Homo-oligomer: A and B are copies of this chain.
Amino acid sequence: MDQNPEQLIAEMGQRARTAAGRLAGLPTARKAEGLRAAAAAMRAQADAILAANARDVAAGEANGLSGALLDRLRLDPARLEGAAQGVEAVAALPDPVGDTISRSERPNGLQLSRVRVPIGVIGIIYESRPNVTADAAALCVMSGNAAILRGGSEAAHSNRAIHAAFAAGLAQAGLPADAAQLVPTTDRAAVGAMLRADGAIDMVVPRGGKSLVARVQEEARVPVLAHLDGINHTYIDGAADPAMARELAVNAKMRRTGICGATETLLIDRAFADPAPMLAALADTGCELRGDADIRAIEPRVVAANAEDWDTEYLDSILSVKRVDGVEGAMAHIAAHGSHHTDAIVTGDAATAERFLNGVDSAIVMWNASTQFADGGEFGLGAEIGIATGRLHARGPVALEGLTTYKWVVRGTGQTRP
C-alpha cells in the first residue's frame, strides 16, 4: 500500500468522525432505514458476496486452515440471509440515543439533564467470521457511531463484498457511507495503528479468540471493551435441590462447551449431601472431570486435577471439580481463580444466595440458573457487540446502550455564578 498504517487509520478516523457527527443527529427512523437498506443490499449482492466467500474458502483450504476455521469462514445462502436478518433485527431495537438518564433542577433555576449520546468512532477487530462485518457495523450505526472494521486476512474477499453492499445500502438511504468503513489492507500493522489511534478511535472491540484479545489488551492505547477469559464457576451449595443442581451443572458445562459462558469449574459444598449422581451425570455425558482427592473418592472416572486446572478456561468437554467449605469457601476460590465473567450459585437458601450475589465480583452473578445464559440475546438486549469483564463503562453483555455515553445539558435563563 502507498500509505503507512498510521496515515491510513488517521484518515479513516477523520472520515469516521465526520460521519459520526452526522449520525449523532439522525432520528432513530433514519438509522433504522439505513440498516434495512444495508440488509437489502446484502441480499441483492448475495451472488457477489458468496463468490467472494468461495475465493476465501478455496484459499483457506489451500492454506490448510482447520475445519473449524473453515466452518467459521464459510457462508451459504442461509447464513447470508441470517446475517441480513440480523441487521434488520438491530434496526428494530430500541434506540438509546437521546434518552434522559437523570434530570434535576438546582435552587438557582438551572435545569440539568444527562442525555445519552453516541460514543463516536468504534474500532472492531475480528478474525475469520465474515458476518461480524455486518453485525458489528449494524450495532455501531444504530447507536449513532461510526465503525472502523478490520477483519481477518482469511476472510478478506468476503469482508470486502459484505462491506461494499452494507455501505452502498447506507448511502442509498442517505446515510454517510463512511459510517461503516473497512480497513482496506490486511497488513497486521494496521491493527497496531488502530490500537494506538487514541483520539481518532474512541473504543476498540476485539471479536475473536484469546490470542487476538490478549494482543489488543496488551498493545492498546485506546480503551478496549472485551473479555479475555471466561473461567466461570457454578457453586452447588449444601442447600441446593439435588435434581436442579444436577441439571444446572450439566447444562452449564455441556450445552455448548466452546462459548465464553460455559462453566469451567464446579464447586461443591461439603454440606451438599450426595454429589455422586451429579458427577456421574456429568461423566455420562462424556465430560472429562478433573478433581481434587475428595471428588475422586466419589466418582471413579474423575482424574486428578493439577494446580493449573483451577485457572484454565477449557472451552471443551473438561470440567474441574472441587469441594469447598460453604459459600465463603466458594467465594474465596472464585476470588482467587475467577475471571470476573459469570459465576453462579445453586441453592434453596435465599440468604446464602444473596451473600454470593453480593460478594462475588463478576460482571454477571447468577442464582439457580445456567451460566450458559451469559449472552446479550438471552439478556433481552437483542444483540451483543461483546461481553466485557473490565470494570469501567460497561460490564457483561454489551449492546446498543454500551455503545453510548452521555452529555450534561444545562438550561438556564441567564444565571451567572456568584
Contact = CB atoms under 8 A, between A and B. Distances in A.
Interface of A: 21, 24-25, 104, 106, 110, 112, 117, 119-120, 202-203, 223, 241, 244, 247-248, 251-252, 255, 335, 353, 357-359, 361-370, 372-373, 378-380, 391-393, 395-397, 405-417
A357 B409 contact: yes
Given A202-B391, A202-B392, A366-B412, 12 more contacts: A106-B379, A112-B379, A117-B361, A120-B361, A120-B391, A247-B414, A361-B407, A365-B410, A369-B414, A373-B415, A392-B392, A396-B408
Contacts of A412: 366-369
B408 A379 contact: yes
A354 to B, nearest CB: 10
A147 to B, nearest CB: 15
Nearest to A250: B416
Contacts of A409: 357, 365-367
A367 B413 CA distance: 8
A255 B417 CA distance: 8
Nearest to A256: B417
Given A119-B391, A378-B106, A392-B393, A367 B407 contact: no
A362 B406 CA distance: 9
Copies in the complex: 2
Given A335-B21, A357-B409, A370 B415 contact: yes
A380 B104 CA distance: 8
Contact of A368 (B378, B406, B408, B414): B414
A413 B240 CA distance: 11
Contacts of A252: 416
Nearest to A18: B335
A372 B416 CA distance: 8
A370 B410 CA distance: 10
A97 B361 CA distance: 14
B359 A416 contact: no
Closest 7 pairs between A and B when the two form their complex, measured CB to CB? A369-B412, A251-B416, A244-B414, A372-B417, A366-B410, A393-B393, A392-B393
B414 A405 contact: no
Contact of A106 (B117, B223, B380): B380
A358 B25 contact: yes
Contacts of A365: 407-410
B369 A415 contact: yes
Contacts of A353: 411
A410 B25 contact: no
Contacts of A413: 368
Contacts of A405: 391-392, 395
Contact of A410 (B104, B112, B373): B373
Contact of A406 (B117, B244, B358, B395): B395
A334 to B, nearest CB: 12
B247 A416 contact: yes
Contacts of A410: 364-367, 369, 373
Contacts of A411: 353, 357, 366-369
A361 B251 contact: no
Contacts of A378: 106, 110, 417
A369 B410 CA distance: 8
A392 B120 CA distance: 10
A247 B416 CA distance: 7
A407 B360 CA distance: 10
